Amino acid sequence: MEPNKSGRPMTLDEIDQEPALLPANDRPDPARRAARPRPAAPRGMPRHALAVGAALLALVPLAAGGYLYWDAARRFETTDDAFIAARQFALAPKVAGYITAVPVTDNQHVAAGAVIARIDDRDYRVALAQAQAQVDAAEASIRNIDAQTAVQQAQVAQSAAQLEQTEAGLVFAQQQAARYDYLAAHNGAASVQSAQQYASQLRQQQAALKTAQAAVAAATRQLAALKAQRASAEANLAQAAAQRDQATLNLSYTTVTASQPGRVVNLSAAVGQYAQAGASLSMFVPDEVWVTANFKETQLDAMRPGQAVTLRIDAYPERRISGHVASVQSGSGTAFSLLPAENATGNYVKIVQRVPVKVVMDNPPTDVALGPGMSVVPEVRIDPTPSLYERLRSRL
């Protein structure tokens, strides 16, 4: 028998498979080879039964794993329609002027009260000085009126004293005139001349009384006028003080500051630029951010405020941030859009709506930048009871 390629003699099976390797005289007869008996296959379980059993054994761990996954997944609700949100706003000056300094740069984190930009304040300092001068003038006017009022009050007192003196003289003149009138009319005890003289003195005292009364009235009116002038001067002082306060505010407005901690975004201010009042110099993103997750309305049945949430931010996939559900919006997102959908039509097709859910981060990272619009995948645990997998893991 010819050896095979490995150097050993060829077996009958090899000769059957490759008869051309033998010499022509040694090649087996095909008819005899077909009639040669073959060894019988061992008896036992059919092959298809073995395959079914193997398949069933392979499905057991798959079914167990599938159940564990379903049992754990049904306790959570998740969506990929979620983004970081914040109440970002524009930083703008309240007064106009040329910018003299911009001590911040793009995307810089600043604390509350940090200076964002400074505007040339020379004009506003001059306006403040003018307003202060008006205040000083109004205060001086009040002091002058107070001095005049004191003098006029003394004049009123003096006129009142003269009036009392004149009234006393009038009483005496009335008594003297009546006395001498009586004496002249009875037995000639007094001369007619004396009676006439005292009658004249009486009329003089009466005239003096009217003069004193007029002087008292004039002094009183002058005092009232001074009081009115003081009231007007006080109003002028209040107006001047308000103008001074406004000038002080305008001067303070020349320094644009951050009202809360956050990041300067999209900075457009530059030194030498003329800033208009109300024109944006930069956008500002506060540190207080949250996640707005737009869940399907069919996912809200068991979702409640306070439930734990695990957040994965697409920009930082290696981090897991914990949070909780703060609130669920009372209405779908489209209901509050600029052009809400009009469903009262004949061609209505029902579409599952999405409802914004506010999720607050319990431990927001401080070493990375988080801003509005960044994609987040929240996972809300709607069932706090532990799953079978969690129970098994806790026992290991």
CATH number, domain containing residue 301: 2.40.30.170
**The pLDDT value given to residue 64:** 62
**CATH number of the CATH domain containing 193:** 1.10.287.620
What is d(CA 103, CA 271) in angstroms, rounded to the nearest whole number? 10
Same domain, 212 and 262: no
Strands 308-313 and 376-381: antiparallel
**Cα–Cα distance between 120 and 271 in angstroms, integer?**
10
Taking alpha carbons only, the member of 46, 2, 6 closest to residue 25 is 2
Give the separation between CA 391 and CA 388, rounded to whole angstroms: 5
CATH classification at residue 101: 2.40.50.100
Could you tell me if 385 and 364 lie in one domain? yes
Same domain, 249 and 302: no
Give the 3-state DSSP-derived string for the chain, with helices as H, strands as E and coil as C.
CCECCCCCECCHHHHHHCHHHCCCCCCCCHHHHHHCCCCCCCCCCCHHHHHHHHHHHHHHHHHHHHHHHHHHHCCEEECCCEEEEECCEEECCCCCEEEEECCCCCCCEECCCCEEEEECCHHHHHHHHHHHHHHHHHHHHHHHHHHHHHHHHHHHHHHHHHHHHHHHHHHHHHHHHHHHHHHHHCCCCCCHHHHHHHHHHHHHHHHHHHHHHHHHHHHHHHHHHHHHHHHHHHHHHHHHHHHHHHHHHHHHHCEEECCCCEEEECCCCCCCCEECCCCCCEEEEECCEEEEEEEEHHHCCCCCCCCEEEEEECCEEEEEEEEEEEEECCCCCHHHCCCCCCCCCCCCCCCCCEEEEEEEECCCCCCCCCCCCCEEEEEEECCCCCCHHHHHHHHC
Using CA atoms, how far apart are residues 73 and 183, in angstroms rounded to an integer?
133
Would you say residue 72 lies in a domain? no
Verify that 191 and 275 share a domain, yes or no: no
> Does residue 340 share a domain with residue 275?
no
Tokens of 79: 């969506």
Establish if 70 belongs to a structural domain: no
- Specify whether 138 is located in the same domain as 207: yes
- What residues in the chain have per-residue pLDDT under 50? 1-2, 41
Residues 200 and 266 in one domain: no
User: pLDDT tens-digit profile of 320-352?
Assistant: 999 999 999 999 988 888 888 777 767 778 889
User: Considering 207, 234, 254, which residue would you say is the last residue of a domain?
Assistant: 254
Specify if 10 maps to a domain: no
Encode pLDDT of 116-127 as tens digits: 999 999 999 999
Cα-Cα-Cα-Cα dihedral sign, residues 29, 30, 34, 38: positive
218 and 278 share one domain: no
Sign of CA dihedral 46, 49, 55, 61: negative
Quick check: is 208 in a domain? yes
So what's the pLDDT on residue 340?
80
Residue 379 inside a domain? The answer is yes
Residue 162 in domain: yes
Domain holding 333, by residue range, is 77-87+287-389
Q: Are residues 306 and 339 in the same domain?
A: yes
Q: Based on the domain organization, do 102 and 142 belong to the same domain?
A: no
Q: Is position 50 within any domain?
A: no
Q: What is the pLDDT of residue 224?
A: 85
Residue 20 has what pLDDT?
A: 54
- The tokens describing 327, both together, are 């609130």
Whether 144 and 242 share a structural domain? yes
Residue 184 amino acid letter = A
Of 295, 291, 269, nearest in space to 280 by CA: 269
CB 97 within 8 A of CB 274: yes
Give the chain's domain count: 3
| Pair of tokens at residue 195 | 């009676």
Answer yes or no: is 150 within a domain: yes
- The pLDDT assigned to 215 comes to 79
Say yes or no: 227 and 333 in one domain.
Answer: no
